[in-house]
Amino acid sequence: MVISSQLLAADFSELGDKVFPSDVVEICGFRINDSVISGFIVVAAILLVALILRLTVIRRWKTTPTPAQMFLEWLVSFFDKSADEMTENYSGLMGPYTFGAAAYICCGVLIEAFGLRPAIADIGACFALALCTFLFIHTFGFMKNKVRRFTHYLNPINIITDISVPVSMTFRLFGSILSGMIIMDMIYILIEGIWYIGLPLILPAVLTPVFTLFHAFIQSYVFASLTLTFVQEAIETPPRKQKKKKKKAEATIAA
Amino acid sequence: MELLVTMLANLLITDGAAIGAGIAALTGLGAGIGMGIATGKAVEATARQPEAVGKIRTMLLLGLAFAETTAIYGLLVSILLIFVAA
């Protein structure tokens, strides 16, 4: 009975403000919310870690690898290998780009564990990432196929397909991160009134990996592999019309 | 009868956004069926050809991401209805 009355007493009126924050800070004429600040913190942290790794681990590169070196090699070659497989000539650019985007998404979500608003739970951040992918897809598509790529647009439904790519990538990322954040915020509000020994300490620690950790890794992997798939699709050379002639020739031979 | 219509109209006016949010959450139905079929097929394919498990896993994750997108659209619509429209 005690529990049910406590659950009913929980006040969810703050939840709406957390989902769509109304408290915006104005810096240099830009109206920004907490997500932007945590995004800058994430970028600074990633740069700092990269610099430290560059100065410590990579300087002492050995032929008999240390655990840190093995981990770094695995991480980099994981993205480089899949970029090599899918985007042959452009893997030099696509490998680092997917690695960078995945690192930003992963760390931007995991910053929630420190009590800040996740950097990806802001539609602007998701749209920026999706727009980068969109630019890569079409730049490489036109670089590889040149004018022949315009034949792809003779079928007008392809225009809509191409425009929907950044939109769907934006909302996939935004929706999944936001849903994880809402569930965690709801749990924080619910356990606020419960004072059983240890429960407010243990419950978030158990539930955070379920709602935040898996989302972070899965969404960054999905973003990277979707980018590679779309680029692979764009740099595919369209089939030429010679095949028909061959078939005709075969038919005449057979006849 | 007239009372029922009035009640229904009142309900739609006051709680229309909440009902809409509930209906929007039904997108999970289609996404769940689709993801279930995809996973089942992937298990079948792995059982038939265990050496191709790496490629199957990659394709399965991509397909699941696409199927999940529809469910996320429904979720976003219901969140917007709850927190913005209400």
With an 8 Å Cβ cutoff, are B62 and A16 in contact? Answer: no
pLDDT at B82 (0 to 100): 80
Give percent of chain A above pLDDT 90: 14
Note whether A235 and A93 are within 8 A (CB).
Answer: no
B11: domain range? 2-85
* Six-digit token string for B43: 């298990």
| Cβ-based neighbour number of residue B11 at 10 Å | 12
Q: Where residue A130 falls among pLDDT bands split at 50, 70, 90?
A: very high
Mean pLDDT of A166-174: 89
The ipTM value here is 0.73
A143: domain range? 2-254
> Helix axis angle, B27-48 relative to B53-80, nearest 10°?
180
Counting the structural domains of chain B, the total is: 1
pLDDT at A1 (0 to 100): 42
Counting the structural domains of chain A, the total is: 1
Average pLDDT, chain A: 81
Q: How far is B5 from chain A (nearest CA, A)?
A: 32
Of B58, B72, B82, the CB nearest to A171: B72
CATH number at residue B6: 1.20.20.10
What is the mean pLDDT, run by run of 10 residues, along chain B of 86 residues? 84 80 89 94 94 86 84 86 74
CA distance A254 to A247: 10
Phi, psi (degrees; rounded to nearest 5) at A32: -125, 155
With an 8 Å Cβ cutoff, are A226 and B75 in contact? Answer: no
With an 8 Å Cβ cutoff, are A172 and B72 in contact? Answer: yes
Mean pLDDT of A182-192: 80
Average pLDDT, chain B: 86
